[in-house]
Structure formats: structure tokens, C-alpha cells
Chain A
Amino acid sequence: MRRTADRVAHGVFLAAALLGVIVLLGILVFLFAYGVKAFKEIPVFRFLFGTVWNPDAYGTKQFGLIPLLWGSFLTTLIALMIAVPFGIASALFIAERLKGKVRVVVKTMVELFAGFPSVVLGFFGLVVLAPLITHVFHVSSGLNLLNVSLLLAFMSLPTIISVSDDALRVVPHSYREAAYALGATPWTTALRIILPSAKSGILAACMLGFGRAVGETMAVLMVAGNAPIMTKSLFEPVRTITSTIAIELGESSFGSAHFYSLFALGAVLFLITLGTNLLAETLIKREKRSFML
């Protein structure tokens, strides 16, 4: 009886763990199965390399991925240009200087912000950042690339800080002791010894920050202006993959080419984030391995 209970428990736990694999495969299968249906009407080539996204046109409806991909990458890259230096500096300070309760409180605030509802952040961008941008730069609308990038920078910061801090923390103490023994100051040690030793972990942090920003939907949707153009200025509206799905899934009729094309967009987004995450995972493993002498 007890042995049976033991075996049943083992089976149940294994099944629960396997569900993780099944869900991942399920997402992959459903997105691709639905996405592929779009290509009955839309040529794959026109989808992947088309430069116009206009699914509501009276004449030929156009489903070009390029402007949306451009929007997603542009917003994310500008966000990372802000968030990466901020994030690494913050993580280095937290890892090297903060101890005890202060450290717990600061890390708590960072982590807390990671779980902040993105719709509230989008609302903040709409009511505070947008008027601020119009005022400072004398532009007609604050719903633009700059606003999105600022919000995405804030959203990816917690990820970059936490993961970088972890990466800095696993650098062995012997590195520090050796530097001090040679007469290096704590600052030189942090900058020249600790930071370079943790570089693959920090790179992983930036990639995870990228994944976080590229997949963000609600905040982007609320402040982007959402015109599907090839945005070239910080003050032009921008349209990302995520906001396109969010805007158009409700409008498209179930089973239309338009409806399925949004799943194809989802599949593209899925591949981008999956790729980034797997790469980040490899980098973190590599850092840990490099310290095992």
C-alpha cells in the first residue's frame, strides 16, 4: 500500500513536470498550425519580405512583416541603449557595495517592479511621459517611438539588474582577494576584475532584457501611436509585432487569412524570444562553468 502510494506520487510528479514540455510543444504546434493557414492566401515570400502591412486595404490586402519587425527591433534596441548601461551600473553597485538589509530592500524593489502591471506603466506613459515629450521637444504627439522606448527601458531594467547581479555574485572571492593582494582598490577590482569575469552572465542578462522588451504588449500598445510605418524618427509613431496582434485579433474575423496571419506573427515572436532565451541560458551556463577550476 505504502509502496503503491510512493509509486503513484512519483508518477504524478513526473507527469506535472512533463506538462512543461508538453505546453511548450503545444504552443509551438498551435502557433505554426494556425500560422501556416495564412499562407494559403498570402505568399510566404510576401509575408516575410513585404514592406507594407495593410490588412484592411480595399484592393490587395498586404501582409508584410518587415515594418512590424522593424518596429519591434527599433523600440527594443533604443530601450536597451538606455537600460543596458543603467542596468549594469546598478547591478555592479548592488553586488559590490550593498549588504544586509539595504541590499534586501533594494533587490526587493527591483523585483517588485518586475511584476508591475504593464498596463499601469502604459497608463503612466500616456498621462505623464506623453505630455512631457510634447512639451520638451515641441512635437504634436507624445505617442511615439521615444515614449515606447523609455517605457521598455524601465520594463527591462529589473531583468537586467537581477540577472547581472546574480552573474556578478558567482565570481569567486579568490578573484577579489587576489586583486586586493596586488594593491588594487575596490573600484579597480570591480571594474577590471569582477565585471570582465562575469561578462557572459551579463550578456545573458541583456539578452533576457531584450526578450522582455520585445514581447511587451500593453504598455507599447498604449503609447506607440501604432501607425504601421517604417519609423525613422524618435517622434514618429511606431507599430510592433505585439501591438499588431493585440489590435487586430479582435477585428479580424475568425478563420480569415488576416486572423491566421496574426498567428504567423505570434510564431515569429515565439521564435525570437525562444532563441534569445536559449542563448542566454547557454551563456549563464558558460559563466558558471568558467569558474569551476
Chain B
Amino acid sequence: MSLPPTPEPLNPGTPEPLPRAPRRKHFASNAGFIVLAVPLAAFLAFVIYMFVYLSVNGAPVLSWRFLTQAPVNGMTEGGIMPCIIGTILVTFVSLVFSIPVGIFAGIYLSEYAANNVLTRLIRSSIRSLAGIPSIVYGLFGVALFVSALHLGLSILASGLTLGLMNLPWIISTAEESITAIPSSFREGALALGTTKWEAIRHNVLPFAFPGILTGVLLALARTMGETAPILFTGVTYFTRELPTSLMSKFMALPYHLFALTTQHDQVMKVRPIAFGTALVLLALVLAFDAVAFAIRMRLAGANKWQV
């Protein structure tokens, strides 16, 4: 995918390079910064160790059969295919809701919102939503979707609960990407007599698209790994049938991992399957993260590597 030409930096607000310190030898100063680097290095080393550990222990379990078979013999053998399908379905449902709503809200906040009480209320609400624990979304999902709207325990109820949770993430990245488009793009179109919407559609959204896509992919990756919101809205320990409709209960990768490690009566016997499940989930999440970051790197590359 080729990026649109950007005559001006995408983020006009990013700071200029740090001013240079006086050129003297600062032994104590450098030593200080080396001490500061230790916690960061420890943190990054932990992240890498965890990834390697899960890969090493999960890889031997992975096989084509593991990915394409249903669990058998009380989940002690077989694969995790229904969990992969469940996770994909429920994430898809959540995004069908949150992508359009999130982008529309992002457009409103960056293009239409005046500096008034209403806008401050909207922004504050969205930031607050982003900070609400996922288990609280789970409770809300039980009260609203499962019970009040009679969706029962279903893919639809779980998907919508996840959709509400990832909505604020999508709104904020969409708003950011749209705001980063220079105002001259809009003014050019408006000067030719277009309406505001036409200017946004033709001269702003196409250029904001890579940024919006990055946000959507990151939201997708995080949504796939969420367990608490689906715990009581439709995910199930084991089901013989694959989902037949959006009203079916379903199995999901994160819950499967949780169930295998804490709910199963032969915890040690299913440990290899748990490792395999963890690795598959992690690989799926990281794959979407990687695509998102690749797009962001290209954007940043066009903008001299500023984050």
C-alpha cells in the first residue's frame, strides 16, 4: 500500500529535536543515565523472556491438527479450533459496531466539535470509558444485553459488550489521525465550493486512513485477548457444536486458557494444551499488532521517525 503524499508534516505539534547539551565530558551525568536505563532494560528483558518462554513451551504442541480439531476426551486431547472460531466471530461482531461509530465520533470531535461544554463532556466521557475496568463492562453486558435486551448468553451479547469496551480506543485514534491532517487540505476543497462533508470525505479521510487503520488493528488485537467482558455474556467452557448463529454460545481462546489452567479437573494433564492455546492467542494478537506498527512506522518514516 502506498501512502498518500504529505506536503506538510503529519503531526505539526511534535517537538523539534532536543537542544544539545554543552560538549563536555560528563562522566557523572552519563553514569546517572545508565542507572536510569536499568529498570527499562529489566522490563524489556521480562517481556522478551515471557515471549520466548511461551514460544518454547507452546511450539511443540502446535500442529495442523491442533488448529483444526475440536477438543476431545474431556478437553485432554484434540485441538482448539472452536476457540479460534469463537474468538474471531466475537471480535468481528464487536468491530462491526465500534468501527463505524468510533470513526464517526472521531470525525465529530476533530472536525465539528466547538470548544464548549458539550464537547468537553463528550471528551471527558470517552476518556473515562477508556479507564473503566473490563469486568465492569462485563457486568454492564449482563445487565443490558443479556438481560434487558434479551440477547441471552450469545456471541451477539459478548460481541456488543466488547464493542462498547473498544469504542473509546477507536474514537481516540481516529480523532488523532484526522486532526493531524493539515487544515489546508480542507480549505482547498472548501474554496472550490464543496460542502464540509464533501471536503472531509474527499480531502481528509483518505489521508487519515492509515492512522485510523492502525488504531482499528490495535483495538482488534486487544479485543481478542479480553476475557472478563465475555465471561458472563456468552463464552462457555465446552460446547460440542460450532456456533450456528449469533445467538449461540461459543468457546474463545482467552477463556479456554483460563479454563484449562484453573477450572479443569486434570490441570497438569492439559498443561501442554494450555501452553499451545496461550501461544496461538499471543501469536494472533501480536500478528495484528505487528501490522498496525508496520503501518505506523511508515507513517512515522514519512515524518522523520517522530512518535
- A residues neighboring B (CB under 8 Å): 2-3, 5-6, 9-10, 12-21, 23-24, 26-27, 30-31, 33-34, 85-87, 89-90, 92-94, 96-97, 99-101, 103-104, 106-110, 112-113, 115-124, 126-128, 154, 157, 161, 169, 173, 176-177, 180, 183, 185-191, 208, 211-212, 214-218, 221-222, 242, 245-246, 249-250, 254, 262-263, 266, 269-270, 273-274, 276-278, 281
B128 touching A278, Cβ below 8 Å:
yes
B89 within 8 A of A: no
- B residues neighboring A (CB under 8 Å): 15-19, 21-22, 24, 26, 28-30, 32-33, 35-40, 42-44, 46-47, 50, 53-54, 100-102, 104-105, 107-109, 111-113, 121-122, 124-129, 131-140, 142-144, 147-148, 164, 167-168, 171, 195-198, 200, 218, 221-222, 224-228, 231-232, 254-255, 257-258, 261-262, 271, 274, 278, 281-282, 285-286, 289, 293, 297, 300, 305, 307
Using a Cβ cutoff of 8 Å, how many contacts connect chains A and B? 279
Contacts of A281 in B (CB 8 A): 124, 127
Nearest residue, chain B, Cβ from A183: B22
Separation of A128 and B52 alpha carbons in the complex (Å): 13
A117 touching B225, Cβ below 8 Å:
yes
Beyond A186-B29, A217-B135, whether A120 also contacts B198 by CB under 8 A is no
Separation of A225 and B51 alpha carbons in the complex (Å): 25
Contacts of A176 in B (CB 8 A): 18-19
Beyond A16-B105, A115-B285, A246-B135, whether A90 also contacts B43 by CB under 8 A is yes
Contacts of A20 in B (CB 8 A): 105, 122, 125-126, 129, 167-168, 171
Contacts of A245 in B (CB 8 A): 135, 138-139
A217 touching B28, Cβ below 8 Å:
no
Nearest residue, chain A, Cβ from B289: A112
Minimum CB–CB distance for A82 against chain B, Å: 10
Separation of A150 and B151 alpha carbons in the complex (Å): 38
Q: Is the interface of B mostly helix, strand, loop or mixed?
A: helix
25 inter-chain pairs at a CB distance below 8 angstroms, sorted by A residue, are A2-B198, A6-B197, A9-B197, A17-B108, A20-B168, A24-B129, A27-B137, A94-B40, A103-B307, A108-B293, A117-B226, A119-B254, A120-B54, A120-B281, A127-B271, A128-B50, A187-B32, A190-B33, A215-B133, A215-B136, A218-B227, A254-B147, A263-B143, A273-B131, A273-B133
Minimum CB–CB distance for B12 against chain A, Å: 15
Q: Which of A13, A21, A191, A277 lies in contact with B112, CB distance below 8 A?
A: A13
Minimum CB–CB distance for A163 against chain B, Å: 12
Beyond A13-B112, A169-B15, A269-B133, whether A31 also contacts B139 by CB under 8 A is yes
Contacts of B42 in A (CB 8 A): 86
Q: Which of B21, B133, B195 lies in contact with A180, CB distance below 8 A?
A: B21
Minimum CB–CB distance for B280 against chain A, Å: 11
A217 touching B221, Cβ below 8 Å:
no
Contacts of B285 in A (CB 8 A): 115-117
Beyond A109-B44, A120-B281, A242-B133, whether A6 also contacts B167 by CB under 8 A is no
Separation of A262 and B143 alpha carbons in the complex (Å): 12
A120 touching B107, Cβ below 8 Å:
no
Q: Which of B101, B147, B224 lies in contact with A117, CB distance below 8 A?
A: B224
Contacts of A33 in B (CB 8 A): 143
B50 touching A124, Cβ below 8 Å:
yes
Separation of A106 and B43 alpha carbons in the complex (Å): 11
Q: Which of A18, A249, A274 lies in contact with B132, CB distance below 8 A?
A: A274
Contacts of A24 in B (CB 8 A): 125, 128-129
Nearest residue, chain B, Cβ from A254: B147
